[in-house]
């Protein structure tokens, strides 16, 4: 399992199916609501030679299955933050819907298959609900009528001098200064207004803020503070011409940045993301250009496809591939799992070039050793820098039955649960995530037959 990675539609759409399988395996993809909406919106978009249903289906087939999950909507989390709730911003996906289950004296949390995953499973087979088609058309109409000049005008009404915003970094600095120099009570009110909170929500937030001792927004509601900065930055960048007002889609693209606190890596092929995302990343986070990662995923796919068929038939999960040493993916993993702030340089296309320069001949010995080790020979023991680890030992029938029986009892308990935690979530013994994973996908066996 790789680092938690936020991705956008432009990146996943550009991958072929095998590359998407590699991305799913080597990373832990974070799917944000913006991606879901953008994909669904293609139902109202015609493209030469392909129907809208085919467009959405093609993206849905590449949707992550093995790893990852959907994040709670940013507004829900920002309001929760303003009402005194804790929103972790340490690079972890915030997931909704955990079901507490007490089984055999053990405290378990079960996450059923997400609605998003269920929808993508339908979409790849061309199954769409009428409400989804209506939503797609409505969203496209709203986007077409969106006037970004209104947001730019809002920035002009902030009462600050925008003349000093010569670079896009200046827009960020002015946004931070504007928000942080307000009185704490005004910071709270400003954030509530930008989030279009209801009167009841505002009252609850004000009460929680007062009970906390009337601190600054940054101290009281760090995530709401972050979302507010992104919104103000966008307004200022529009007003100063650093971001175009003529592309309504920029509004949607900017929304991906709301989810960066919940990842370690953000991969995108969108130029706006390339310019803006690094401005709001914490130490240790990485922005990766999608086209470069796509090239490295292709290299890994070709290298692993060179393995003998009997090795590949064990399935990716049992093969447990590791990134090619010196590759971009290996560098991303190393940076993501290192401690933040260790002074590691940026991820560049040089990593892809290094991986490419090894060539098929340079990989041949590694692949041969892996194949020998996977068949039970001693070649695997000599691998110091493998492309893939030795195959995990197969479970015997009794072990598989015991695991399956335990899983059935946990899932049965989840079906009966009424959602009232019978235990403190901090004392959880296990977490079970239900996934719909194809046994075979593209050129790959994802799960060996004896594990299905």
| DSSP codes of every residue in 261-303 | GG-SEEEE--HHHHHHGGGGPPTT-EEEEHHHHHHHHHHHHHH
Could you give the angle at the alpha carbon of 261 between the alpha carbons of 33 and 38, nearest 5°? 20
Cα–Cα distance measured from residue 113 to residue 65, given in angstroms and rounded to the nearest whole number: 10
Average pLDDT, the chain: 82
* Contact residues for 138 (Cβ-Cβ < 8 A; gap 6+): none
Cα–Cα distance measured from residue 244 to residue 236, given in angstroms and rounded to the nearest whole number: 11
Backbone region of residue 343 per phi and psi (left: phi > 0; alpha: psi in -120 to 50; beta: other values): left
Burial string for 97-110 (b: 16+ CB within 10 Å, else e) reads ebbbbebeeebbbb
pLDDT surpassing 90 at residue 26: yes
pLDDT surpassing 60 at residue 260: yes
**pLDDT at residue number 128:** 80
Task: Place 135 in a pLDDT band, splitting at 50, 70 and 90.
Answer: confident
How many alpha carbons lie under 13 Å from residue 351 in its C-beta half-sphere?
A: 27
**pLDDT at residue number 41:** 83
Residue of 133, 109, 112, 111 lying closest to 122 (CA atoms) = 133
Task: Place 360 in a pLDDT band, splitting at 50, 70 and 90.
Answer: very low
**pLDDT at residue number 402:** 65
pLDDT more than 90, % of the chain: 50
Is 93:262 a contact under the CB 8 Å cutoff?
yes
Cα–Cα distance measured from residue 363 to residue 365, given in angstroms and rounded to the nearest whole number: 6
* Contact residues for 78 (Cβ-Cβ < 8 A; gap 6+): 87, 191, 195, 221, 223, 224, 227
pTM of the entire predicted model: 0.82
pLDDT surpassing 50 at residue 348: no
Is 38:9 a contact under the CB 8 Å cutoff?
yes
* Residues paired with residue 30 on neighbouring β-strands, in sequence order: 6, 69
Cα–Cα distance measured from residue 56 to residue 44, given in angstroms and rounded to the nearest whole number: 10
Mean pLDDT, to the nearest integer, of 93-109? Answer: 80
**pLDDT at residue number 438:** 80
Task: Place 366 in a pLDDT band, splitting at 50, 70 and 90.
Answer: very low
> Which CA distances in Å does 444 have to 299, 312, 325, 449?
15, 7, 22, 13
Cα–Cα distance measured from residue 94 to residue 77, given in angstroms and rounded to the nearest whole number: 9
Cα–Cα distance measured from residue 331 to residue 97, given in angstroms and rounded to the nearest whole number: 34
Task: Place 409 in a pLDDT band, splitting at 50, 70 and 90.
Answer: low
């Amino acid at each position: 399992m790789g680092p938690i990675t936020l991705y956008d539609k432009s990146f996943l759409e550009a991958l072929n199916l095998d590359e998407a399988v590699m991305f799913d395996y080597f990373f832990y993809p974070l799917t944000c609501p913006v991606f879901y909406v953008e994909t669904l919106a293609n139902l109202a978009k015609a493209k030469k030679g392909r129907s809208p249903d085919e467009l959405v289906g093609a993206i849905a087939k590449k949707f992550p299955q093995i790893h990852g999950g959907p994040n709670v909507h940013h507004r829900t989390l920002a309001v929760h933050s303003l009402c005194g709730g804790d929103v972790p911003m340490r690079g972890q996906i915030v997931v909704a819907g955990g079901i507490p289950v007490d089984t055999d004296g053990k405290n378990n949390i079960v996450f059923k298959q997400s609605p998003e995953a269920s929808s993508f499973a339908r979409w790849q087979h061309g199954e769409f609900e009428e409400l989804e088609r209506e939503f797609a058309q409505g969203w496209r109409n709203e986007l077409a009528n969106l006037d970004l000049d209104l947001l730019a005008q809002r920035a002009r009404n902030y009462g600050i001098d925008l003349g000093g915003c010569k670079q896009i970094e200046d827009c960020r600095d002015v946004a931070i200064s504007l928000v942080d120099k307000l009185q704490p009570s005004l910071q709270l009110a400003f954030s509530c207004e930008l989030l279009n909170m209801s009167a009841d929500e505002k009252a609850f937030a004000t009460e929680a803020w007062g009970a906390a001792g009337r601190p600054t927004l940054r101290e009281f509601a760090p995530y709401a503070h972050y979302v507010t900065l992104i919104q103000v930055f966008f307004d200022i960048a529009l007003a100063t011409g650093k971001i175009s007002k003529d592309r309504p889609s920029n509004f949607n693209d900017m929304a991906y940045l709301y989810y960066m606190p919940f990842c370690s890596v953000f991969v995108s092929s969108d130029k706006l993301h390339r310019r803006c995302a690094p401005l709001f990343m914490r130490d240790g986070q990485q922005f990766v250009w999608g086209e470069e990662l796509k090239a490295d995923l292709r290299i890994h796919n070709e290298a692993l496809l060179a393995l003998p068929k009997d090795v590949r038939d064990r399935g990716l999960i049992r093969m447990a591939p590791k990134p090619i040493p010196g590759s971009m993916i290996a560098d991303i993993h190393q940076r993501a799992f290192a401690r933040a702030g260790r002074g590691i340089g940026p991820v560049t296309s040089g990593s892809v070039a290094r991986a490419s320069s090894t060539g098929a001949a340079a990989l041949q010995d590694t692949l041969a050793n892996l194949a020998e080790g996977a068949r039970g020979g001693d070649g695997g023991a000599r691998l110091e820098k493998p492309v893939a680890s030795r195959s995990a030992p197969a479970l015997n029938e009794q072990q598989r039955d015991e695991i399956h029986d335990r899983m059935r009892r946990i899932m049965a308990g989840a079906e009966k649960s009424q959602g009232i935690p019978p235990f403190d979530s901090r004392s959880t013994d296990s977490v079970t995530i239900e996934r719909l994973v194809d046994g075979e996908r593209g050129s790959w066996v994802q799960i060996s037959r004896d594990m299905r």
